């Protein structure tokens, strides 16, 4: 019996593109960065900064956490936090910062934080933009409202100091680009 060996064309292009994106990410987060943030850091919701340091964005981020199906966008808890430990008040829908859902792409919850956007853009996905009408790209604080204000009890506000956000674009947001209460410096 005889065998015929047939070869399919092989392209290195997909491999090279994958390597290129890894190199771009590495180059955009230099050694001065304490934490490099990628799109995967935002898949389940708001990235909560609770430790001082320099945080660097390594690609454009289009925030669309826990998306629902476009044909049934209002199914229970589509685009809504579901981890009470990470997002306090998401289970009770009252008495905590995430009672009304994700309110920011990034929440800064401690003093002495630098965010270097590295020329990249942070924005809401258009579908999430329709779902969440009160939102900030970056919230300087642990809650979107001062204690006793707003449509529910969001809990006590931590006033923050020494926050530096620079070098990028704040894109689509249903409410604020950067928001904070009682922040200084």
pLDDT reported for residue 27: 52
pLDDT reported for residue 113: 97
Dist CA 3 CA 81 (whole Å): 57
pLDDT at 154 > cutoff 50: yes
Q: Which residues contact 92 (CB under 8 A, 6 or more apart)?
A: 99
Q: Which residues contact 155 (CB under 8 A, 6 or more apart)?
A: 88, 89, 95, 96, 97, 142, 143, 147
The closest alpha carbon to 182, from 145, 153, 137, belongs to 145
Dist CA 8 CA 132 (whole Å): 48
Dist CA 144 CA 134 (whole Å): 9
Residue range 82-140, pLDDT digits in tens: 888 888 877 777 777 777 888 899 999 999 999 999 999 999 999 888 888 889 999 99
For residue 22, give both structure tokens.
Answer: 């890894």
pLDDT band with cut points at 50, 70 and 90 for residue 174: very high
pLDDT reported for residue 99: 76
Q: Which residues contact 163 (CB under 8 A, 6 or more apart)?
A: 108, 111, 113, 114, 115, 140, 180, 183, 185
pLDDT reported for residue 87: 86
For residue 177, give both structure tokens.
Answer: 């680009």
Residues 125 and 174: beta-carbon distance below 8 Å: no
């Amino acid at each position: 019996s005889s065998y015929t060996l047939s070869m399919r064309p092989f392209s290195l292009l997909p491999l090279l593109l994958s390597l290129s994106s890894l190199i771009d990410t590495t180059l955009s987060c230099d050694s001065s960065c304490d934490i490099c943030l990628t799109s995967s850091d935002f898949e389940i919701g708001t990235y909560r900064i609770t430790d001082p340091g320099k945080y660097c964005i390594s690609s454009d981020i289009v925030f669309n956490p826990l998306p629902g199906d476009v044909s049934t966008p209002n199914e229970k808890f589509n685009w809504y936090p579901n981890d009470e430990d990470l997002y306090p008040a998401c289970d009770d829908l009252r008495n905590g910062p995430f009672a009304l859902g994700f309110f920011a792409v990034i929440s800064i919850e401690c003093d002495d934080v630098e965010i270097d956007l590295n020329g990249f853009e942070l924005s809401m996905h258009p579908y999430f933009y329709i779902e969440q009408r009160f939102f900030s790209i970056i919230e300087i604080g642990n809650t979107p409202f001062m204690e006793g204000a707003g449509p529910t009890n969001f809990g006590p506000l931590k006033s923050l100091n020494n926050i530096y956000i620079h070098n990028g674009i704040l894109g689509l947001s249903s409410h604020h680009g950067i928001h904070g209460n009682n922040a200084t410096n």
